[in-house]
Structure 1
């Protein structure tokens, strides 16, 4: 073991060699006795045995008996690594990579990464805003780095590709940027050994940041695709009626919930509409509500009678084996030749819809029926309603009536308050009626937790 006056030099070498910081161990005579790899790259001429001059940028640690350890941190590079680690999207991370590399490592930097349809993306920055170009997969000068065969390649001739660099560049260094990618740092002059090490370290962190942000981007894309199938579709145009809706899930960050509504118009001018509520919360309820909506849409192509639709839906949902039940109102809408619309409604355990007449009176539409999706022996009944021009049918989920007051969590919003809000909507269009119902219940809640909220207004025009 190599030790001098109580200093274990071999132990110090093992301790500091893997550190990212440059570390020098200096003896009482001022001679360098230990130098780690980072220090060798930063101070290539300062070999063990050479005299060490106190360096203002270093941090000294007294080891006793005149010995000292000096630590040198590349603050700018460390800050860059932290910025890279904060990237949450692939595009933002690639912009950060070339911009930071241009600021810290070279005059012009290019990130070459795989794109779709067997193409390459060339993210470039020469001091201004990063730009991107896409080309067919041609980058022969980077082949060893792109395939992972080399950890670093020196470039003296660019060859084909979307480089977008000045013609007088001197040389470049290319390091891997994940599978199939490379970061290229270009300068007019050559790279000192310390600069080479900085490029290597930056590339290593950039590759990790890009892999992480790319995974997050792909996960978010998958979430968005799956979520889009669970969200209500935009309301269609239906002859003779004006439609408006409210949809506020309990978990607003997820944007999906167990409540749902749908309107499916037909070529003859009629339409099937529904509003329902799946028992439960969160993703499981949202997935089941998607299953209910898809089943109902398919069944409504072959059946228009609301009672028979509910029987078919009950059979279909029970066949899936799900343990979640659904409450739902299904309606059939037919425009009348002399104005207004005729409605046929059936309910499966759902709160009774309300009708706001043009004169301001509010009526309920009672169509008793069992919950859907659990029991084999169920009964549903139908109710006929005619809407004259200006009349509005309002379907809603129990998230409205069971909303708890922020001042007293045991007090519910209730059907009577909803009726009162509707009475105040006399003469208003469907969009304004839906908005006022939403505002009333949200004011009642005042940002407190709530169940899913869904409402569908069908107004004869």
Structure 2
């Protein structure tokens, strides 16, 4: 330390004179000697550079090689003063702008609150937020250095005089000299400012610039509120999505099942396509694959309505064609404005081996059958679209699958998939039949994997419509 002071004198740096100058700066200023020891830090530096303590070496992780803080929000301009001495500068506006950029990039509530604790201009920060069932959340650093949350009753805040007034926005700040029973993980005097509604930012250590804390809290509050809203929306989507995604395919006597579900909006994982298989106690099963006009959330919600209606109607009707008549009437009565195409059917194991399938279709691409010899046949079943027209006809037909033979149901997302390097060229019926013919002798899972791979090789990284298929195979 004495050597550092001699170096200051030898290089002509009058630290007392420098201190009188920089104390009046509107920027944080830290001066390091050639050994990296902090020799001077003005009052604002204790807030914006809390790791910079006079007489101590600056921690290696405090700033990068050019004076950039590792957390991206405590960057400082670096100025060489000569003979190895360095000055670091930081303005409040730069700090706030960097903190805002960091916070605005976060969308998950817990991650945002942790970042507020880490970025706040303080040696130790506690964020108090309203929690569930009238409780309080206390976000703060643990002795291990990470950020954790503790939960208490609201009454605990009243044991720290002044905190409740901040939480209720009765005052714009308060000094907390008595901390009471809160899980602070801190000691000394804290300065509290309002954060979100019913929340507060409390900072410990340093020479306080209350206006800076208020400005930081305002930006932090906006980020916390935005991420809370986003997280709430995500939870709502997750709840809804659980009922909109295909359910796992069940075990069905005498059958092997596989499916592919690739919505156009991959991030949301929902779309207008759907499939379901409903086993019955007699060993048979009902199945459906449908396609609601459009894609995205609106189509997904309507597909959920169609699926639920079918599930209910299957209790009273099992004949595929009659089931479509009832579904059409039910959707029109509910005010449906989106049309749906679908194939419904039943499958029953045949005593001698194989499956007997009865199918009806409403405006949907014809199912395909892969025979044992590799031949691919269309199933001639037709009918009008479902859910829009009052008068619509449906017919049904029966198909028998020998052991190892396969029925393919698919949405038009397969045949209308556009080639990655020529958006005018569609995958088409002929390529689908050829790809299915290549699957002769393969298991149901292998058939679905092969068809998915072929179609996505065709698509490349290009956008696509909802793309769904259901493979029903007679057990070999």
TM-score by length of 2: 0.76
Cα distance in 2 for residues equivalent to 1:86 and 1:403: 34
Unmatched 5+ residue regions in structure 2? Answer: 1-24, 28-42, 46-75, 78-89
Cα distance in 1 for residues equivalent to 2:275 and 2:178: 62
Does residue 368 of structure 2 align to residue 354 of structure 1?
yes
Does residue 287 of structure 2 align to residue 273 of structure 1?
yes
Deviation digits for residues 198-237 of structure 1, max 9, x if unmatched?
A: 3333222222221122122222222333333332222223
SS at match of 1:232: coil
Deviation digits for residues 99-149 of structure 1, max 9, x if unmatched?
A: 122xx312x221111121222221111582111222333321221111221
Structure 1 residue corresponding to 2:241, chosen from 227, 238, 241: 227
| 2:117 aligned residue | 98
Structure 1 residue corresponding to 2:102, chosen from 72, 83, 106: 83
| 1:38 aligned residue | none
Cα distance in 2 for residues equivalent to 1:337 and 1:110: 71
| 1:306 aligned residue | 320
- More off after superposition, 325-334 vs 153-162: 153-162
| 1:152 aligned residue | 173
Q: Is the 8 A contact 1:333 1:341 kept in 2?
A: yes
Structure 1 residue corresponding to 2:464, chosen from 450, 456, 460: 450
Q: Is the 8 A contact 1:251 1:282 kept in 2?
A: yes
Say if 1:206 and 1:424 are closer, same or farther in 2 by CA, change over 3 A. same
Deviation digits for residues 311-332 of structure 1, max 9, x if unmatched?
A: 1001111112223222110011
Say if 1:84 and 1:400 are closer, same or farther in 2 by CA, change over 3 A. closer
Q: Is the 8 A contact 1:398 1:453 kept in 2?
A: yes
Does residue 349 of structure 2 align to residue 332 of structure 1?
no
- After TM superposition, the structure 1 = structure 2 runs for residues 206-225 of structure 1, keeping only pairs within 5 Å, are 206-225=220-239
Say if 1:78 and 1:403 are closer, same or farther in 2 by CA, change over 3 A. closer
Q: Is the 8 A contact 2:167 2:199 kept in 1?
A: yes
Does residue 160 of structure 2 align to residue 139 of structure 1?
no
Return the offset for 1:22.
4.6
Q: What is the total number of aligned residue pairs between the two structures?
A: 389
| 2:203 aligned residue | 185
- After TM superposition, the structure 1 = structure 2 runs for residues 45-84 of structure 1, keeping only pairs within 5 Å, are 73=92, 75-84=94-103
| 1:112 aligned residue | 128
Deviation digits for residues 323-374 of structure 1, max 9, x if unmatched?
A: 3222110011223344332211111121111112233222221112222122
Say if 1:287 and 1:126 are closer, same or farther in 2 by CA, change over 3 A. closer
| 2:383 aligned residue | 369
TM-score by length of 1: 0.78
Q: Is the 8 A contact 1:105 1:198 kept in 2?
A: no
Cα distance in 1 for residues equivalent to 2:380 and 2:420: 30
Unmatched 5+ residue regions in structure 1? Answer: 1-20, 24-40, 44-56, 59-70
Aligned Cα root-mean-square deviation (Å): 2.5
Cα distance in 1 for residues equivalent to 2:91 and 2:185: 35
Return the offset for 1:303.
1.2
Does residue 447 of structure 2 align to residue 433 of structure 1?
yes
